Amino acid sequence: MLVRGGSTLARQLGISPLIIGLTVVAIGTSTPELAVGIDAALSGEGGLVVGNIAGTNTFNLLFILGLCALLKPVVLEPASLRLELPAMVVATLAFWAFAADGSLSRAEGIMFLLGGVGYTILVVHSARKRSSPAEKELPALPRRMRDAQRTGWIHAAAMLVGIAIIVAGADWLVWGSTDLALRLEVSEALIGLTIVAIGTSSPELVTTIVSTMRNERDIAVGNLLGSGVYNIAVILGLTMLVPGDPIGVEDTLIRIDIPVMVAATLLCVPAFLSGKRISRAEGAVFICCYVGYFAYLILARVDFDEAVYEF
């Protein structure tokens, strides 16, 4: 519902689906991260807050983008190379720099939010500037969709309902998975990096696969790049404003997991610039990198004897 409503609404507005993928769909699929982040911040679980964002972006860039390329090679527009990719690199490096002292403050959260607002303005301006008339840019709509063009509010409502379903489904998944992980007595950061990160990334995973299979490639790639920026600038920024005290960042996250997220982001730069696309072979490399990282998390940071006993 989210993909179909977004792509149809983009056609009705006469703009590229990329702008919908980079804004509405990206924010919509990031709402589970916001819900989890605020709840964790109010509970004083800083490791879960930071681990969720770092784990989600790593999963998005390595596994989901790799899977997307494995299905069909990912081709980026030149404008995306000039704006969206650099924005994601800057946001990721800023996250690393702010977390380096072991805490994330409200002032830094405000800086993230201002950056998110500026990024959104640039995206909308850039997308409008490079959009051609809808009928020339996009394939003709089926008759039943052409007949419904006058009822744009229906497609907007479909997007909202899709977002609501996404949030509810992710909430159930995270609630059940987190409770199970807590019973096994593993750290909050590990929960955020694995179960919660993958759980809250399920909207991006499904949206990307559906968009790819429907040939809405701009929404698929735009959703991943946009979600990466919004997860840090908007989702983490808003979460940092909630608690009265700064959010603590565990040493392991600073030394290992956030640098892994930075490496995953920087890995996209040469992959995108080499022919301005990610091939199937490069997508397979991305997936293998994530599988290796996930194996490290499970094998090196879980006490299996204690976990089995507690379970």
Could you tell me which of 107, 97, 109, 83 has the C-alpha nearest to residue 272?
Answer: 83
CB-based contact 69:282 (threshold 8 Å): yes
The whole model's pTM is what? 0.78
pLDDT at residue 78, rounded to an integer: 67
pLDDT at residue 174, rounded to an integer: 66
Architecture of the CATH domain 2-131+145-310: Up-down Bundle (1.20)
Q: How close are the terminal C-alpha atoms of the chain, in Å?
A: 38
CB-based contact 24:195 (threshold 8 Å): no
pLDDT at residue 75, rounded to an integer: 74
Q: What is the residue type of 291? A: V
The DSSP secondary structure of 156-195, one letter per residue, reads HHHHHHHHHHHHHHHHHHHHHHHHHHHHTT--HHHHIIII
The DSSP secondary structure of 214-273, one letter per residue, reads TT-HHHHHHHHHHHHHHIIIIIIHHHHHSSSSPEE--HHIIIIIHHHHHHHHHHHHHHHH
Q: Provide the CA 252 distance to its chain's centre, in angstroms.
A: 22
Q: What is the residue type of 149? A: Q
d(CA 176, CA 52): 16
pLDDT at residue 301, rounded to an integer: 77
Each residue's pLDDT expressed in tens, for the chain with a length of 311 residues: 776 777 677 777 776 666 666 666 667 767 777 877 887 787 777 788 899 899 999 999 999 989 888 888 877 766 667 777 889 999 999 999 999 999 999 999 999 999 999 988 887 777 666 654 443 344 444 444 444 445 678 878 887 888 788 777 766 766 776 677 778 777 777 888 888 888 878 777 887 787 777 776 666 676 677 788 888 999 999 999 988 888 989 899 999 999 999 999 998 888 777 767 788 888 899 999 999 999 999 888 776 555 555 55
Domain boundaries, the chain: 2-131+145-310
pLDDT at residue 285, rounded to an integer: 93
Return the structure tokens found at 129: 């500037």
pLDDT at residue 213, rounded to an integer: 77
pLDDT at residue 85, rounded to an integer: 82
Which residues, at least 6 apart from 70, have a Cβ–Cβ distance to it below 8 Å? Answer: 280, 283, 284, 287
Which DSSP category does 277 fall into?
E
pLDDT at residue 309, rounded to an integer: 54
d(CA 114, CA 131): 26
